[in-house]
């Protein structure tokens, strides 16, 4: 067997701890799959005096990156600390010191992808990031390698395990939002700052990475409109169920070509939002911390990838796959060929999401009196939006309280729908700002 691949793991929390444990426990299997030993040489943490899990070899612990950078036997640095400040420094200094990098840090790649990949190319080193999107689901390889012959036309994904766990717990067990989030955190699914999970940012970071691979667009986090599940009312989960739908937080990329200029740049709209999916839709059936991604390619058609999207085991599995690919030498070749975040124009520009067509779920709290529904229907009609169905439950006679009114529309352009909502919100009979979500087919 040839020389060992020397590895330093930076961060020994949920994911780093899993990687350390697996490197030690599955040493022989990994050496066999990689064709050479994967040798763990350093574990970098913030506080090396903190109690650690029993399998962590204390003699490998350090609170400084310097010994890693100085150790010529370290060929790969695995960044698993999270955040974008210290992590960026770890990645850039490791590349500059001639180390390959494996990372699970989607926030960092979404924010600093061009700088990191340029630094890697300059240093003739490789950055691997299978664990950064969808945990244990091999979506980076699927999109970048297995579907490489296709032009991707659309991506629809459940990309945040924490949100999907919360939505499942609220819909199936009737759990309050805060308790469901606590459970997700206890399982190790959530980010250190869980607001990134529930406000749609984490899914947006992952969508930016997928969009780079699929379309070559450099989408900064602020380029992706997002709405999370943190404001989702249990009432809307119940109405959705009554209508035959399940609410999922979806990250979506839809492409558009201009029939007037078929050879001109194509548009791709990126956004993250709760979406109502029919109970029978495969994505609607993805439960708990699972992720799933539907990818549409012009040659292959529709493909679907599903699996555990967060937590120690799934993320560790993807990190180890990257380490094996580096040990074998596959990752270096793929990295060089893909030229990711290189500003090479692949013919796509970012489209505003207002252009996307959808059906919409609109829920209002309105005064229970004559003419209210007629006013709302008139405004929708003015914006050429047709109503598909209306739900209003019987309220106690004459108690004067606003009542929920749910309207489902036929297909409309997002821009037209938003303009109508703005006008509806100004009606004196509408008690609180409208709640609305787009709906799957």
Please identify, using beta-carbon distances, which residue of 153 and 160 lies nearer to ligand HSE.
160
Residue 316 CA: distances (Å) to CA of 15, 26, 34, 323, 363? 6, 12, 16, 11, 41
Alpha-carbon span 353 to 344, nearest angstrom = 24
Q: Which of 160, 246, 255, 358 binds ligand HSE (CB under 6 A)?
A: 160
Question: Catalytic: which of 50, 99, 106, 206?
Answer: 206
Query: Between 1 and 186, whose beta carbon lies closer to ligand NAP?
Result: 186
CB 255 within 8 A of CB 348: yes
Q: 133 or 434: whose CB is closer to ligand HSE?
A: 133
Tokens for 29, please give them: 């299997």
Work out the widest C-alpha separation in the chain, in whole angstroms: 83
Which lies closer to ligand NAP via its Cβ, residue 93 or residue 303? Answer: 93
Please give the structure tokens belonging to residue 206: 């992952």
Residues in region 295-334 near ligand HSE by CB under 6 A: 309-310
Q: Does 409 bind ligand NAP (CB under 6 A)?
A: no
Number of amino acids touching ligand NAP (CB under 6 A): 27
Q: Is 197 a binder of ligand HSE (CB under 6 A)?
A: yes
Residue 206 annotated among the catalytic residues of the structure: yes
Of 286, 277, 225, residue with least CA distance to 439: 277
Q: Which residues make beta-bridge pairs with 335? A: none
131 is a site residue for ligand NAP (CB under 6 A) = yes
135 binds ligand HSE (CB under 6 A): yes
Task: CB nearer to ligand NAP: give 50 or 233.
Answer: 50
Task: Decide which of ligand HSE, ligand NAP, none touches 197; Cβ closer than 5 to 8 Å per partner kind.
Answer: ligand HSE
136 is an interface residue for ligand HSE by CB under 6 A = no
DSSP label of 411: S
Per CB under 6 A, the list member of 79, 191, 281, 368 interacting with ligand HSE is: 191
Query: Alpha carbon of 151 to those of 75, 130, 215, 244, 294: distances in Å?
Result: 35, 21, 8, 33, 14
Binding partner of 339, given ligand NAP, ligand HSE, none, CB within 5-8 angstroms per partner class: none
Query: If contact means CB under 5 to 8 A according to the sort of partner, which of ligand HSE, ligand NAP, none does residue 16 touch?
Result: ligand NAP
Q: How far is the CB of 135 from ligand HSE (least distance, A)?
A: 5
Task: Identify residues 178-197 at the interface with ligand NAP (CB under 6 A).
Answer: 188-189, 191-192
Mark 16-44 as b/e (b = at least 16 C-beta within 10 Å).
Answer: bbbbbbbbeeeeeebbeebebbbbbbbbb
| Residue 105 binds to ligand NAP (criterion: CB under 6 A) | yes
Among the listed ranges 19-27, 58-66, 183-191, 228-236, the one in contact with ligand HSE (CB under 6 A) is 183-191
Q: Which residues of 203-216 are buried (b: 16+ CB within 10 A; e: fewer)?
A: bbbbbbbbbbbbbb
Nearest one of 216, 212, 222, 202 to 309, comparing CA atoms: 202
Residues 6+ apart with CB under 8 A from 342: 117, 118, 121
171: left (phi over 0), alpha (psi -120 to 50) or beta: alpha
Integer Rg of the chain from CA:
24
SS in 3 state form for 340-355? CCCCCCCCEEEECHHH
H or E element at residue 72 = none
Q: Is 16 in the site for ligand NAP (CB under 6 A)?
A: yes
Residue 406 touching ligand HSE (CB under 6 A)? no
Stretch that binds ligand NAP, among 6-14, 207-215, 239-247, 405-413 (CB under 6 A): 6-14
Q: Which of 37, 194, 307, 311 binds ligand NAP (CB under 6 A)?
A: 311
Pairwise CA distance, residues 127 & 326, whole Å: 10
Instruction: Compute CA distances 388 → 259, 356, 391, 422, whole Å.
Output: 29, 19, 11, 20
- Say which entry of ligand HSE, ligand NAP, none residue 162 contacts (CB below 5 to 8 A, set by partner kind): ligand HSE
Closer of 129 and 348 to ligand HSE (Cβ)? 129
The least distance separating ligand HSE from the CB of residue 393, rounded to whole angstroms, comes to: 35
The CB-of-288 to ligand NAP minimum distance in angstroms stands at 13
Shorter beta-carbon distance to ligand HSE: residue 202 or 281 = 202
Closest C-alpha to 342, from 165, 163, 155, 119: 119
Please list every residue from 65 through 104 that binds ligand NAP, using CB under 6 A: 80-82, 86, 104
- Single out the residue of 7, 8, 12, 277 in contact with ligand NAP (rule: CB under 6 A): 12
What is the rounded distance in angstroms from the CA atom of residue 198 to the CA atom of residue 181?
Answer: 9
Q: How far is the CB of 310 from ligand NAP (least distance, A)?
A: 4
How near is the Cβ of 97 to ligand NAP at its closest, in Å?
16
Write out the residues near ligand HSE by the rule CB under 6 A: 135, 160-162, 189-191, 197, 202, 309-310
Catalytic residue list: 206
């Amino acid at each position: 067997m040839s020389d060992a691949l020397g590895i330093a793991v930076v961060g020994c929390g949920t994911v780093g701890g899993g990687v350390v444990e697996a490197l030690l426990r599955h040493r022989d299997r990994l050496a066999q799959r990689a064709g050479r030993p994967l040798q763990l040489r350093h574990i970098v943490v913030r506080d090396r005096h903190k109690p650690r899990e029993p399998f962590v070899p204390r003699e490998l612990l350090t609170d400084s990156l310097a010994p890693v950078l100085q150790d010529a036997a370290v060929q790969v640095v695995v960044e698993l600390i999270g955040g974008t400040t210290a992590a960026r420094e770890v990645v850039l200094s490791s590349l500059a010191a001639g180390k390959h990098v494996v990372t699970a840090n989607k926030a960092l790649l979404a924010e600093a992808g061009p700088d990191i990949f340029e630094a890697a190319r300059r240093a003739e080193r490789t950055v691997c990031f299978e664990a950064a999107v969808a945990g244990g689901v091999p979506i980076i390889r699927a999109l970048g390698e297995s579907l490489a012959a296709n032009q991707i036309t659309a991506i629809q994904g459940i990309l945040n395990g924490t949100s999907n766990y919360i939505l499942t717990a609220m819909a199936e067990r009737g759990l309050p939002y805060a308790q469901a989030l606590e459970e997700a955190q206890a399982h190790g699914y959530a980010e250190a700052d869980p607001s990134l999970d529930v406000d749609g940012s984490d899914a947006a970071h992952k969508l930016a990475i997928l969009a780079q691979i699929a379309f070559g667009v450099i989408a900064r986090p602020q380029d992706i409109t997002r709405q999370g599940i943190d404001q989702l009312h249990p009432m809307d989960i119940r109405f959705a169920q009554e209508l035959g739908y399940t609410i999922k937080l979806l990250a979506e990329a839809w492409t558009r070509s201009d029939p007037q200029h078929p050879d001109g740049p194509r548009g791709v709209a990126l956004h993250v939002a709760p979406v109502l999916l029919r109970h029978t839709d495969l994505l609607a059936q993805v439960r708990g911390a699972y992720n799933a991604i539907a990818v549409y390619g012009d040659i292959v058609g529709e493909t679907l990838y599903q699996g555990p999207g967060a937590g120690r085991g799934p993320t560790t599995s993807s990190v180890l796959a990257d380490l094996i690919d580096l040990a074998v030498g596959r990752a270096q070749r793929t990295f060089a060929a893909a030229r990711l975040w290189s500003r090479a124009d692949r013919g796509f520009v970012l489209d505003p999401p207002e252009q996307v067509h959808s059906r919409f779920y609109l829920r209002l709290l309105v005064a229970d009196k004559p003419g209210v529904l007629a006013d709302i229907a008139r405004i929708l009609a003015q914006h050429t939006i047709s109503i598909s169905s209306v739900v209003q439950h019987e309220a106690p006679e004459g108690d004067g309280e606003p009542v929920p009114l749910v309207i489902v529309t036929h297909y409309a352009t997002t821009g037209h729908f938003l303009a109508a909502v703005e006008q509806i919100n100004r009606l004196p009979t509408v008690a609180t700002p409208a709640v609305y979500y787009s709906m799957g087919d």
